[in-house]
């Protein structure tokens, strides 16, 4: 460290010490003097004036009115909190119902996927039968029966898909109805 840096650092430390003192006294000395000054004040300044009975009654009436207003405000806050709790309870039940409906939708999707797997298996089997019939028979009766069977299975899946789509639409409407809770709804 050079001499100029050392000199600058010592000068800054000295300035800090001087800024802490005011009128040659440290901060601790000034605080203790102010505390002693407060303790030395005469107590006659804090004496109360004697009141008449009417003044005492008026004052007690003011205090009573103030507490009555405060009680009314507390009752309003309490009613608002009760209403909020009831709304939260309603929302809790609605969300639980929504979760149950989502589970039933998931189960329906699983059922639909299983039906599609069955359809894929049936289509593969029918395709194999068609190959066998086309190779072995010259008549069209076997092919016609197989194709009619395939068409029947496909129409069955389409009707299942249509009923599932209507089920999904109904579930969506139910969920929208449940989620449309009005904030101005009166508490029960």
What is the reported pLDDT for 20?
A: 59
Per-domain residue ranges for the chain?
53-179
Please give the Cα distance from 114 to 16 (Å, whole number). Answer: 83
Model pTM? 0.36
> What is residue 78's predicted lDDT score, i.e. its pLDDT?
94
In sequence order, the β-bridge partners of residue 22 are 25
pLDDT digits (tens, 9 = 90+) for 103-161: 888 888 888 878 878 887 887 888 787 777 767 665 555 556 666 677 777 777 777 77
């Amino acid at each position: 460290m050079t001499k100029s840096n050392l000199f600058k650092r010592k000068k800054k430390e000295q300035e800090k010490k001087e800024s802490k003192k005011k009128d040659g006294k440290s901060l601790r000395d000034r605080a203790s003097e102010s505390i002693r000054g407060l303790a030395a004040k005469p107590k006659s300044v804090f004496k109360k004036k004697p009141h008449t009975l009417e003044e005492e009654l008026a004052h007690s009436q003011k205090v009573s009115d103030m507490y009555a207003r405060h009680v009314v405000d507390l009752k309003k806050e309490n009613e608002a909190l009760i209403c909020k709790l009831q709304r939260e309870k309603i929302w809790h039940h609605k969300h639980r119902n929504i979760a149950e409906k989502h589970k039933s939708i998931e189960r329906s999707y699983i059922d639909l996927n299983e039906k599609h797997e069955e359809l894929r298996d049936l289509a593969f089997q029918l395709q194999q039968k068609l190959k066998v019939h086309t190779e072995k028979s010259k008549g069209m009766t076997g092919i016609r029966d197989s194709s009619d069977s395939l068409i029947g299975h496909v129409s069955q899946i389409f009707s299942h898909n249509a009923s599932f789509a209507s089920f999904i639409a109904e579930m969506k409407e139910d969920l929208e109805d449940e989620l449309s809770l009005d904030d101005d709804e009166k508490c029960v």
